[in-house]
Amino acid sequence: MGMISTNEFRKRARILLDGQPCMIVENEFVKPGKGQAFNRVKLQNLLTGRQLERTFKSGESFEEADISYTTMQFLFTDGKIYTFMDTKSYEQVEIPKESMDGAERWLLENTECEVAFWGEKPISVTPPIFMDLIITYTEPAVKGDTSNNVTKKATIETGGEIDIPLFIGEGMKVRVDTRTGEYVERAK
Amino acid sequence: MQNKIAAARFRAKALSDIRAFFSARNVLEVETPLLSQGASHDFHIDLFSVPSEPVTGDMRFLQTSPEPHMKRLLARGYPDIFQISKAFRMGESGKKHNPEFSMIEWYRLDFSLLQMMAETVELCQTVVGPLPATYVSYGEAFLKATGLDPFSAGYELLVSHPTIAAHGLKVKDFAEAPDVLNFLMSEVVEPSLNPSILTIIHSFPLILSSQAQPDPQNPQASLRFEVFAGGMELGNGYQELRDIGEYRLRFERENAKRKAAGKPVPPLDERLFGDMQEGFPACSGVAVGLDRLIQLGMGLSRLNEVLEFPWEKS
């Protein structure tokens, strides 16, 4: 991979920082009139998902991180390892739970996800933004509940937990926003 | 874009108010070349150089400020002068920067730094409205915000300030004390200033004097000031250095750094020195960023919001 300088830090550019692949989230040019220029940069560590802020001297160069994205179908899991298949080459990859970033809570068999690779190594899984999933467990709504609760906890068929409105019951299908893990609407 | 048209109207009014401001004070409007054989030697200002001769390909520089030409006018006997012109600084693109920007620069004969600071406040108020102004010395502002005395701290102590590690920066990112002072100024001192008033910081350390005279009252300080508001530096002024030997020394020092870093090294401007040889008058001068004044006056957060064609779109 080539080198990339702070002047080329566009959003989503990916660099190696302290040996870890990071994505540029924000890049602000800072310069006192007669002083050295800096770039105040917000990055996301692509291994941990954590955001960090760093300041670099303008013009400093970094190795580009070899990140690629592939559409893959979720096949099965033993609870520790998640197995996916490349929809084009039919090749399979195994992704440990730690690299799933919580995506496993929304995955049904055959769900197509975007898998990020650092070189050969899968590092993150992005499920579709909206998933329609069946409620497998929730408390029935209590008549005359005068508390201020407008939502209740529910478990969905993929094992994830969400907050749902009181009128939703077991067996119903709901749409979930996987970015926030929030209930969107009742699904058909 | 409706708000860009509002910015254009604001700019047009600012330009006419600024001209009225100077006209009422008998300051002559001048126009000097944008392309020049000489250029700023400032290590941290990158130059646009332009092929300027069709056969030989000789280069000229786009001005980073009208300062050298305006100083030549003063040396040639011009009275008080002002200019509103474009200035060009390569690579300076961001929330508060555009590589091509508008600058108001003016010089007042026999003005002390104090008089110049007062007039700079009035000029800023002409555009941004009646913001109150407060004056503080560099030493006092720096000590209050960083806990360090910029005059006595020295490189080692300055560079160990926790802000530097907090930004993930290393000692080697700072070559010398002025670099650390500038960084702490922009990252610690500036954000600590009240954004809704004009703050004038004066008596910069001598190692940051640029083209200002040494302060006769304080051998470590210089007669330089900057004005801040809205979290931005709006302007920079000096009681101007008059000693040609000292100009040469300071320019050569910057040129040596440029050479060591592999940056283009503009030749010393002998035309400027030639004019100054005849005698350079006692004066103060200041440069104020017009685009930032407009941004502040309109209460906007990014410079791009007042430019119809910012760098990426021009």
Q: What is the DSSP string of chain B?
A: -HHHHHHHHHHHHHHHHHHHHHHHTTPEE----SEESS----TT-PPPEEE--TTT--EEEE-S-SHHHHHHHHHTT--SEEEEEEEE-TT--BTTB-SEEEEEEEEEET--HHHHHHHHHHHHHHHH----EEEEEHHHHHHHHHSS-TTTSHHHHHHT-HHHHHTT--GGG--SHHHHHHHHIIIIIHHHS-TTSEEEEE--BGGG-TTBPEETTEEEEESEEEEEETTEEEEEEEEBP--HHHHHHHHHHHHHHHHHTT---PPP-HHHHHHHTT----EEEEEEEHHHHHHHHHT-S-GGGG-SS-GGG-
Q: What pLDDT was estimated at residue A147?
A: 60
Mutant choice from A11, A42, A43, A55 vs B, greatest count of B C-beta within 10 A:
A55
**Does any CB of chain B come closer than 8 Å to the CB of residue A10?**
no
CB-based contact A35 B95, cutoff 8 Å: no
Q: What pLDDT was estimated at residue B36?
A: 95
The Cα angle at residue B30 between residues B27 and B31, in degrees rounded to 5: 160
Is the pLDDT confidence value at A34 over 90? Answer: no
Q: Taking residues A141-164, report their average pLDDT.
A: 80
Mean pLDDT of chain B: 95
**Does any CB of chain B come closer than 8 Å to the CB of residue A54?**
yes
Strand order in the sheet with A173-177: A161-165, A151-156, A130-138, A173-177, A182-186
Q: Specify which residues B238 forms β-bridges with.
A: B224, B285
**Does any CB of chain B come closer than 8 Å to the CB of residue A50?**
no
Question: Shortest Cα distance from B168 to chain A (angstroms)?
Answer: 5
- Which tens digits make up the pLDDT trace of B143-159? 999 999 999 999 999 99
- Which tens digits make up the pLDDT trace of B41-90? 999 999 999 999 999 989 999 999 999 999 999 999 999 999 999 999 99
Of residues B106, B85, B118, B121, the one with CA closest to residue B291: B85
Is the pLDDT confidence value at B273 over 60? Answer: yes
- Which tens digits make up the pLDDT trace of B164-182? 999 989 999 898 999 999 9
CB-based contact B93 A34, cutoff 8 Å: no
CB-based contact B44 A38, cutoff 8 Å: no
- Searching chain B, which residue's CA lies closest to the CA of residue A18? B168
ipTM above 0.90, yes or no: no
Which candidate from B94, B182, B236 shows the least CB-CB separation from A28? B94
Residue B161: φ, ψ to 5°: -60, 135
- Searching chain A, which residue's CA lies closest to the CA of residue B93? A29
* Full-model pTM: 0.84
